[in-house]
Amino acid sequence: MHNNKPIVIFCELFEQVGPAPMFLHGEVKSPHYPQPYQPGTDVTWDLKVPVGYRIQLTITHLDIKQSDNCNQDSLTVLHDQKVLGKFCDEKTNQHLPGISPILSSSNHLQLIFKTSAANRGSDQHLGFTAFYTAIDCEAPHLPDQVLQLELTDPSVKYAFKSEIQLKCESEYYRLEGEGMKRYIFCGLAESFIFSHGRILGGREARLGEVPWYLLSKEPVRAGASLISDRWAITAASAVDGHEDRDLILYGGIVDGSTAGLRMLRSEKIVMHPNYENHQNGHERTNYDNDIALIKLSTRVKLGPNIVPVCLPEKTEEPVMQGMMGTIAGFGAWERSRRSRKLRHAAVQEYSRQKCEDTPYNQEANKPMNFTQNMFCAGLEGVDSCQGDSGGPLVQPMVSARKTGRPYRLKGIISWGPVCGRKTYYTKVQNYLNWIKETIDIKNNNG
């Protein structure tokens, strides 16, 4: 599908000649330390380590007379005549004492300690101590799903500013930018001839047609959609009461009777904070904010049968913009039987007026609530049903026509009065900020 171009980072390759010590270090002190240094001192240290290593210098103690711009007594650190730092005051420099080490760009550094020849009188300053260490060029931090062929060769070492070529192990990833940000292709699917049908008795999906679909069988039967290689999205009502339990999801399958090769386990379930959870299902009249995120315990290895769906773009128009979309699920399909096969069907968005005509909940003695965070859709004889909750409504419609546009998740199956009429969907575009913020926080904080 998409070919990845290798990313080049800067680190010069060289072959190790003979055994080289893996850890070199030393200490540098001002003359007479720990006794006070003398006026008129001018001493230079040339620090060198084997080629291919860098020097990390940490100033561990500094007691030098303060002066403007350190123009009297000073310690200067240079690399190839470039001043990396000039120090005479412990309080005003970030590198002192040992707070932030100085790192050379090659295998040598120079230290110069100079003191004024002027009479010091009663001044008594001890000078400095510094510790240096020879370090290997650090291998770059690499995102998951990346092959690093050169780095696996034990006969090769890596020096600063060398070049290493990286490539992704799957065509569904690529690396971008200087920081090697991992980019995941979304919304890709194989295309097959489409025929109208319904989840209630209609069209069986083939492998690769709806590759973002995830099935939960226990502790609750529901659907979800993969939105990255670590996150899935579903309806909060589908996981209500099960937030603290391990959720097992199956991906890359179209037959719900088999475990398949892609069994995924949840690490964390995050329900929208404004969803009214733990309500009596029979008396519930409000499914507002019916959305939840599932963080998976491990990254999914993407392939042609398991690919994330793209999130939608924000629009002020009707959610589906007058075009058909596709729903999918393993829910009831005929005579209330659960489907063993993944099925999908085409639906259209209904007018707001038709959506506002909600059913009356007899047990709660209240009408169901329709909000700005919902839309409803269906087609004559076509609908989602029990067991489909949490599943996707995507556009463009799954069909043989290759539009060149990625599939985007427009809605999440939320609730409905009676199978075969109309279903209400969570409007995903209203939650784009919440999705991004939640994923960022959980990825950073666990």
Q: What is the DSSP letter of 388?
A: -
From CA 215, how far away is CA 234, in angstroms rounded? 10
| Chain segment 16-72, per-residue pLDDT in tens | 333 333 346 788 999 988 888 988 899 999 988 887 778 888 888 888 888 888 888
Instruction: Look up residue 437 and give its DSSP letter.
Output: H
pLDDT in the model for residue 169: 59
Instruction: Return the pLDDT at 337.
Output: 54
Structural domain contains residue 204: no
For range 361-366, the mean pLDDT: 84
Among 130, 165, 185, give the residue marking a domain's end. Answer: 185
pLDDT interval class at 153 (50, 70, 90):
very low
Residue 24 sits in a domain of what CATH number? 2.60.120.290
Q: What is the pLDDT of residues 210-242, one digit of tens each?
A: 999 999 887 778 899 999 989 999 999 999 988
In a domain, 322, yes or no: yes
Q: Stretch 108-132: mean pLDDT, rounded?
A: 83
Same domain, 360 and 397: yes
Same domain, 222 and 359: yes
Residue 438: per-residue pLDDT: 94
Rounded to 10 degrees, the C-alpha dihedral 336/338/340/343 comes to: 80
Q: Are residues 272 and 153 in the same domain?
A: no
Residue 164 neighbours by CB under 8 Å, 6+ apart = 8, 9, 11, 13, 140, 148, 150, 151, 158
Q: Say yes or no: 172 and 294 in one domain.
A: no
Higher pLDDT, 313 or 163: 313
- In this structure, the chain runs to a length of 446
Q: Which residue has the higher pLDDT, 379 or 32?
A: 32
Whether the pLDDT of residue 115 is over 80: the answer is: yes
pLDDT band at 207 (very low <50, low <70, confident <90, very high): confident
Pick the range with the lowest mean pLDDT from 43-47, 309-313, 338-342, 356-360.
Answer: 338-342
Instruction: Establish if 201 belongs to a structural domain.
Output: no
Sign of the dihedral through C-alpha 344, 313, 306, 226:
negative
Asked whether residue 237 falls in the same domain as residue 165, the answer is no
Residue 417 lies in a domain: yes
26 & 164 share domain: yes
Residue 230 φ/ψ, nearest 5 degrees: -130, -10
More confident position, 87 or 218:
87
d(CA 133, CA 23): 7
pLDDT of the residue at 152: 40
pLDDT at 360: 82
Using one digit for the tens of pLDDT, what is the confidence trace for 159-180? 444 555 555 656 666 655 544 4
Instruction: Please report whether residue 149 resides in a domain.
Output: yes
Nearest residue to 287 (alpha-carbon basis) of 432, 433, 426, 390:
426
Q: Is residue 143 part of a domain?
A: yes
Q: Which among 99, 37, 108, 103 is positioned nearest to 74, based on CA atoms?
A: 37
The number of domains in the chain is 2
Q: Residue 335: left if φ>0, alpha if ψ -120 to 50, beta else—which one?
A: left
Same domain, 57 and 142: yes
pLDDT for position 135: 77
Both 118 and 231 in a single domain?
A: no
- pLDDT band per the 50, 70, 90 thresholds, residue 269: very high
pLDDT over 50 (residue 108): yes
pLDDT (0 to 100) of residue 352: 93
Shared domain for 156 and 253, answered yes or no, is no
- pLDDT of the residue at 3: 40
Decide if pLDDT at 84 tops 60. Answer: yes
pLDDT tens for each residue of 127-143: 899 888 887 654 454 45
Reply yes or no on whether the pLDDT at 342 is more than 70.
yes
Residue 263: predicted pLDDT: 84
Strands (DSSP E) contained in 16-87 are: 24-29, 42-48, 53-63, 74-79, 82-87
Average pLDDT over residues 296-317: 89
Cα 404 to Cα 170, 259, 297, 307, 432, distances in angstroms: 21, 33, 32, 16, 23
Does residue 199 belong to any structural domain of this protein?
Answer: no
Judge if 139 and 232 occupy the same domain: no
Higher per-residue pLDDT: 444 or 253: 253
Chain mean pLDDT for the chain: 77
Residues 6+ apart with CB under 8 A from 352: none
Higher pLDDT, 91 or 94: 91
Asked if residue 131 and residue 29 are part of one domain, the reply reads: yes
Supply the pLDDT for residue 59. Answer: 86
- Residue 339 in any domain: the answer is yes
Query: pLDDT confidence of 201, banded at 50, 70, 90?
Result: very low
- Residue 214 has which token pair? 């995830």
Domain that holds residue 418: 213-445
Q: Assess whether pLDDT exceeds 50 at residue 76.
A: yes
pLDDT of the residue at 198: 33
Residues 308 and 221 in one domain: yes
Nearest residue to 292 (alpha-carbon basis) of 351, 232, 382 = 232
* CATH assignment at residue 314: 2.40.10.10
